[in-house]
Amino acid sequence: MIDTLAVVGATGAVGRSVLDQILQRKLPHGRLRLLASARSAGQVVTFGDQQITVELMEPSAFDGVDVVIASTPDEVSAEFAPWAVERGAIVVDESGYWRMDPKVPLIIPEVNASAIDNHQGIIASPNCSTTQMVVALAPLHNAARIKRVVVSTYQATSGAGLAGEAELMHSTRGSLDGSAPAAKTFQYPIAFNLIPQIGSEKHEGYTSEEMKMVYETRKIFGDDSIDVCPTCVRVPVAIGHSESILVETEKPLSVEQARELFANADGVTLIDDLAGRQYPMPVDSAGKDDVFVGRVRKDLSSPNGIAFWCVSDNLRKGAATNAVQIAELLAKKMASVA
């Protein structure tokens, strides 16, 4: 049981999903407080049958708080997380700021829940594109050890927040009626388009989003020898990231073995019937918590390769659900020592 739970960033796209997940998953907690910057403080947010006023996020706001679930920009997390930890709270953080800090565990509960024991007040939740990929990779890694991953992502506009969702709608309407509004959130108009850049230029032609997938995958698996070659693309889909993944393993896996591993994996749903036109699509994943896998097939170019297609709701398992699942682990630990 979490006596006092705080949600930071509750008025954003992921924050709203966090509140939905707290309700749906019945996260055991007592008092719920919503904290935000001065721009959002004072807003009233509906939570079940409650109307909760958003409070100003300042150091004293974390007094008496046990667990914080936060979805904020990196620079905001860098400032507030130490305030919360100094006052005895545990922060479950969804920003990118703390993920690669060696003192901060990077957690996907289905994959490395035991790493939570190493926290020093802050626990990081991975990037949305990394999370769904690693959930799908975990059963293959546990069975045959992954050596190399080649992944191309097709990422929904909601990954850029409420502004990204709104821009998809505006851009699409404008393209259809001839008004063609200028791009604001994205580098170019997103309607009927693909943009092969998510994040800033970072390393030898790779973007920050792509390098997150490299570093975070290695950290979660605890294996720096895993090679990851990512390409991240923004697509005109509102909700649901898709990924085309090619994985090479140390031990060979047959397609039948891979399908069985996916079918039995925690948090994975296998939908794989090409003849019957059954495979995961973003429209079907929206509002669901699982990672959906399909199009499982042997790599024609490598004896130890398996290729597959992977889809997940980026606001749910890619963000809010994963954070709330981490909070559930904390609630169980708190109950066991009460």
Catalytic member of 119, 128, 141, 310? 128
Catalytic member of 119, 232, 241, 310? 241
- Each as own residue / partner, the long-range contacts of residues 282-287 (CB below 8 Å, 24 or more positions apart, any chain) are 282/156, 282/237, 282/239, 282/240, 282/241, 282/242, 282/311, 283/240, 284/311, 285/239, 285/240, 285/311, 285/312, 285/313, 286/238, 286/239, 286/240, 286/313, 287/239, 287/313, 287/316
Mark 273-293 as b/e (b = at least 16 C-beta within 10 Å).
eeeeeebbbbeebbebbbbbb
Is residue 322 within 8 Å of 126, Cβ to Cβ?
Answer: yes
Centre a 10 Å sphere on the Cβ of residue 252 and count the other Cβ atoms it contains.
14
Could you confirm whether 241 is annotated as catalytic?
Answer: yes
Strand partners, 5: 32, 67
Question: How far is CA 150 from its chain centroid?
Answer: 19
Say whether 227 sits in a helix, a strand or coil.
Answer: strand
Is residue 122 within 8 Å of 91, Cβ to Cβ?
Answer: yes
What residues are annotated to the active site?
A: 128, 241
